[in-house]
A and B are shown apart, each in its own frame.
Chain A
Amino acid sequence: MPQPLKINDSLVNPLRPPASVMRLARIGSFHQSRLSFMRVLLRRLKQQGWRFDRPVWKIDEQGVGLATYRAIGPERTYTLVAFAHDLPDDQRSDRVIAEAWDATFTLYDGEPSEEDIARLRDQVPLQEAGRISETELVLARANRSVRLFGHVIDRLASGTQPDRDLIEPVGYLMRTTAVYGSGKFGATDRDKWANRVEFRGSFQPELLSVWLIRSFTIDLVEYLAQVKAPETAVPLSYDLRHRFGVGNSTGLGLAPFLVTHPALIHSWVHARETALARVRSIEIASEEKIAVFHNRLARARINAENWQADHAYQAPKIVSLRNDLDSLTRHLEANPLIGPHPWNRLHEWAESALSLEGQEQLVSLMMEPYGEFVDELADNMSADEDASFHIDGTMTVAGLKELVETSYGWALSVDFNKKESIARVWYVSEEKLEPRLGERFDEPVEPYEQPLAPGRDAAAMYDTLQTWDDTSTVAAFLIEHPEHRRATRRAQLSAGLSFAEIRDNTIAEDMLPIDLLRCKLSFFGATKFDPRSDRWVRITMFQGAPFPDELSDTDPDDLAYPPLAAS
């Protein structure tokens, strides 16, 4: 284990200001990095020497049945329990309104008994309509990619490999349509496992599940090819196998998360910004580090070339990214990374020369050579929202006004009386209990509005505060105005956690929910961000990553970008 570095962050470059970072357009341009949770998971599993096996494979010739995958660590074991189903084609849907899936999963805390399996067989295939218990950490489901699943089985059965040109634009055999954790649908509370060393950070049980699901999808196609043609079937080649990740299709259900977990979002963005500041502070870049950077840059260009999205918002952004990476490459030929503070100079150049896509890709790339300065920050990428819950009622009205001015200055200049400033309403539908986004002036949804517009709420509170004496206490203010209690809590929280709030209007007419989704998914480590509308996206997870039986012999961080040979 490398020794943790003692880094005095007060000596490095200052962090980028929250008012610049926390804009929707910028967080909607974030890319995966060393701090992404998938990469954190694989690094840690490797460091801790985890072993993996598949104790149960009871899948019939139709592809229906049960499989289990075990992750065995130094102190604990987890088991992915996978149920494979026979789903009629006309029932396959990514939407949360679906009621059946090709496969359903749960992550069991330990090794399930026969009784546990029987219980889970009754509940897990029902997903939201079922109940899991305190021994389960995750509930998930996945659907087959119609474009690839049959193709891969047919090719393998005939003794040939699938078509690489078909694989690359899709990148997965199955896509998950929900991965639930943290106490949902009866699963165990995060409090029970948050302090386990293997799950430090965010979303580690969920991503462990997805990584094991990836193995299940490969095992399933190879098995079905074998069943189809035992005489001729071959396994997937080593190279092609790694081009399969797990897809994910996600919609508005994910979007409010960034607003409802302010302390957590601060911890994520603050870690990323601290990593950037540390790299910018490096005085001299060694040849070895420069070589790693150039390697990752070349591979990021391949990733950008392979990235397909035809959505009117994302498609031009990908073109910008490709152009940015071309510019960056040319810039480095003329301005090599020699001399003092090369990374800071490069960053300053990028801020004026590249689009937001390119700037944020560069932030991720600059971290790549410097695991020793960056990786330890991942341990702090979690938060106890409860710790910042209680309001300091002894604060004065003047003090609260100052907090609003600091964290919500942007909102104070927005005219929330204009229709376009409040055009949207976040609400929860009765039908599926999922967040949706409605039109305030066209739909009867305003009475059901969820509190997902902190800027508007802070501005409204600020207006009311103007009528109060500056020396009054917040406690007295809130007795008269309980409707501002939530805004007060957030303003006080934001004072200490400067990256907690998105500094844009989340109910504006031109707000794009996919920016919220992109931000969150980049922290997961997703690639190939492919919006299907302004509120529904597909992504790929773990594409290129090692499989469980390869983890001990590979550097998972070296596999986070496509291989050079793939060009």
Chain B
Amino acid sequence: MSWSLRETQTLTIKAARGAGLSWGLAEEAGYAVHWLQAHGAPGVRAFANYLSWRDAAEAELTAVTVDPELADPNAVRCPITLGATLSDLGESAPPRLGIVRQPILLVPFIAAATPLGSRCLTWKGTEVLISRTGFSCPTADQLSEFDQVECQLSKTPNVVPPNNPTLRVPESESLSMTVLGEFAAHTYAPATDQSRAGAGSSRSDND
């Protein structure tokens, strides 16, 4: 069993909303997970890990993401909120990003904000080269294992080779998909007699 990218994106949006993000940020999460999976990276796993941590920690994540002075250097930043801001800012994003949870989730936003050339996202000795159309990292399959690290962003002359497109989310992600499904369920209203009656009509549907 595998999942299509579109149903994965839809589930991600619901999960993000179910976890309390605004609809607009939930859409950004859907974009990021879709982009990562389409580029062969474990976006579903990273986002499921992030939501689980956020839920367990009841984390009060800083909303202030444009913070070049890093007024609170110990604040842990939400990769979706920060990523969306990086995307909004385009090439004027600050170099110091602070401590970020599941930093791999920043990659799609940096890609969107890099119309030409490439940029480098670094943490703890890991370097991720990012262009508009793809990314490269020698340890790409381990990228979702970095839970929480301090990140920097810089321009680089290096060229990013295009990624082979991936069109499915594989069976190996089923646990993470289940986690997303559990968060998504928070967006569903419990059924009532009124809701059941409300979708149809009293007219026959067997004629």
| A133: B residues at CB distance < 8 A | 2
Residues of chain B lying within 8 A (CB to CB) of residue A63: none
CB distance from B84 to the nearest CB of A (A): 7
A-B contact pairs, 10 of them (CB 8 A): A183-B5, A184-B6, A394-B92, A429-B188, A436-B199, A437-B198, A476-B66, A478-B85, A488-B24, A533-B203
In the assembled complex, B60 has its CB within 8 A of some CB on chain A? no
Residue of B nearest to A534 (CB): B201
B38 to chain A, nearest CB (A): 8
Could you tell me which B residues sit within 8 Å of A by CB distance?
A: 1-7, 21-25, 27-28, 31, 63-66, 81, 84-85, 87-90, 92, 112, 167-168, 185, 187-192, 194-196, 198-203, 205-207
Q: Are B27 and A191 in touch, CB under 8 angstroms?
A: no
Chain A residues within an 8 Å CB radius of B28 = 485
Contact, CB under 8 Å: A186 / B66: no
Q: How far is the CA of A92 from the CA of B207 in the complex (A)?
A: 9
User: With A and B bound together, what is the CA distance between A459 and B101 in angstroms?
Assistant: 34
Determine if B167 and A251 form an interchain contact, defined as CB atoms under 8 angstroms apart. no
Is the CB–CB distance between B23 and A486 below 8 Å? yes
Q: Which 3 A-B pairs have the closest CB atoms?
A: A485-B24, A393-B88, A533-B201
Give the chain A neighbours of B31 by CB distance below 8 A. 386, 389
Cα separation A93 to B205 with both chains bound (whole Å): 6
| A447 and B5 alpha carbons, distance in the complex (Å) | 28
Q: Which residues of A contact B6 (CB under 8 A)?
A: 182-184, 189-191
Contact B188 A189 (CB under 8 A): no
A442-461 contact mask (Cβ, 8 Å, vs B): 1 or 0 = 11110110110000000000
Contacts A93-B206, A533-B201 given: A186-B87 contact, CB under 8 Å? no
Given A187-B4, A436-B199, A488-B24, A430-B90 contact (CB < 8 Å): no
User: Contact at B85–A533, with CB atoms within 8 Å?
Assistant: no
New contact pairs (9) apart from A93-B206, A448-B189, A482-B84, CB-CB < 8 Å? A94-B200, A189-B5, A251-B200, A393-B89, A429-B188, A429-B199, A442-B194, A475-B85, A536-B199
Return the contact of B90 from the options A386, A393, A483, A488 (Cβ within 8 A): A393
Are the CB atoms of A443 and B192 closer together than 8 Å? yes
**CA of A536 to CA of B136 in the docked complex: distance in angstroms?**
49
Judged by a CB distance under 8 angstroms, whether A249 is at the interface is yes
Find out whether the CB atom of A428 lies under 8 angstroms from the CB atom of B194.
no
**Cα–Cα distance between A437 and B88 once the two chains are bound (Å):** 34
A533-B200 contact, Cβ under 8 Å, with A430-B185, A474-B88, A485-B22: yes
Q: Give the complex CA separation of A427 and B92 in angstroms.
A: 38
Residue interface mask A165-195, B partner, CB < 8 A = 1: 0000000000000000011111111111000
Contact partner of B207 (CB less than 8 A), chosen from A134, A146, A474, is A146
Is A131 an interface residue, CB under 8 A from the partner? yes
Given contacts A251-B200, A393-B89, A479-B63, contact A427 B205 (CB under 8 A): no
For A392-415 the 0/1 string (1 means CB < 8 A from B) is 111000000000000000000000
Q: How far is the CB of A266 from chain B (nearest CB, A)?
A: 18
A151 on interface, CB distance cutoff 8 Å: no
Q: For the complex, give the distance between the alpha carbons of A13 and B70 in Å.
A: 56
Give a binary string over A368-401; 1 marks a CB under 8 Å from any B CB, 0 the rest: 0000000000000000001001111110000000
Chain B residues with CB under 8 Å of A488's CB are 24
Q: Which of B87, B90, B112, B188 contacts A428 (CB 8 A)?
A: B188
Q: How far is the CB of B167 from chain A (nearest CB, A)?
A: 6
CA distance A429 to B200 in the complex (A): 14
Q: Complex formed: what's the CA distance from A97 to B195 in Å?
A: 12
- For the complex, what is the distance from the CA of A404 to the CA of B20, rounded to whole Å? 26
Contact status B190-A186, CB under 8 Å: no
Chain A residues, Cβ within 8 Å of B199? 95-96, 251-252, 429, 434, 436, 535-536
Do A134 and B168 touch (CB < 8 A)?
A: yes
Residues of A near B88 (CB, < 8 A) are 391-394, 474-475, 478
Given A146-B206, A482-B63, A486-B23, answer yes or no on A191-B200 (Cβ-Cβ < 8 Å): no
Let me know if A486 and B7 touch, CB within 8 A: no
B89 touches A483 (CB 8 A): no
Pairwise interchain contact B89-A475, C-beta atoms closer than 8 A: yes
Q: Are A394 and B189 in contact (CB under 8 A)?
A: no
What is the distance, in angstroms, from B39's C-beta to the closest C-beta of chain A? 13
Task: Mark each residue of chain A from 267 to 289: 1 if its CB lies under 8 Å from any CB of chain B, else 0.
Answer: 00000000000000000000000
A427 to B4, CA, bound (A): 24
Complex Cα spacing A390 to B3, Å? 25
Q: How far is the CB of B98 from chain A (nearest CB, A)?
A: 14
Interface centre among B23, B87, B198, B205 (most CB of A within 10 A): B205
Docked Cα-Cα span, A249 to B199, in Å, equals 12
